[in-house]
Amino acid sequence: MYIESFNLGPLETNCHVLSHEGLAVAVDPGGDPTEVLEHLRAQKLSLTHILVTHLHFDHIYGCARLARATLAPILTPAGDAGLMRTELGQGGMFGFPTVEPFESSPAPEGPAVFAGLQCLCLATPGHSPGSMTYYFPQAGAAFVGDLIFYRSVGRTDFPGGSAATLKQSVQEKIFTLPGETVLYSGHGLETTVDSERTHNPFFLHDML
């Protein structure tokens, strides 16, 4: 198993590619996916799914093109569907480009299989109303989107966000994962469950 991360789009969103025995899954293609496609070709990987943690524009800019090039289905959180009727999902706000429309299906909640690997799809709202985390036990990795970052947390002042809900999601769904689980966020560095549980100031000092 191997995880490669690509910094894509105008807000430098992390697109993570998890591969296993010739199969791969991409999480949050937030910009031009050329680098991702080159990686897939170079490693002779077949992309089975495109997973989206939440439907903010900076996490989905590359969905349409990546799906078109690979024929991989796109799975998005059902709880965020309403965001696609707003600038927060469509883009165009603050001078950013608009998102190319794409077809998607609702991501499941609970156990699933992607790229031949078991995945637990966790509802982790707070940053957005439907935000999801994709936890791959065999890889020891959880793709958390903008729920939690290295020593920080995601914004909760966008429509549908809630600081109290985010805190609950992290404490009940993320901090209960094995401590060595690597957290791959939508922006910035990766971290671990233990590292954030013991050092993240938003939880140590009850700042949320």
Per-residue pLDDT tens for 99-154? 999 999 999 999 999 999 999 999 999 999 999 999 999 999 999 999 999 999 99
CA–CA–CA angle 181, 159, 63 (5° rounding): 60
pLDDT number for residue 204: 82
Which tens digits make up the pLDDT trace of 67-108?
A: 999 999 999 999 999 999 999 999 987 789 999 999 999 999
What does the pLDDT read at residue 1?
83
Mean of pLDDT values over 48-52 = 98
Note the pLDDT of residue 164.
Answer: 96
Query: Has residue 21 got a pLDDT over 70?
Result: yes
Give the chain's end-to-end CA distance (angstroms, integer). 35
Burial zone of 21 (CB within 10 Å; 0-12 exposed, 13-18 middle, 19+ buried): exposed
% of the chain with per-residue pLDDT over 90:
93
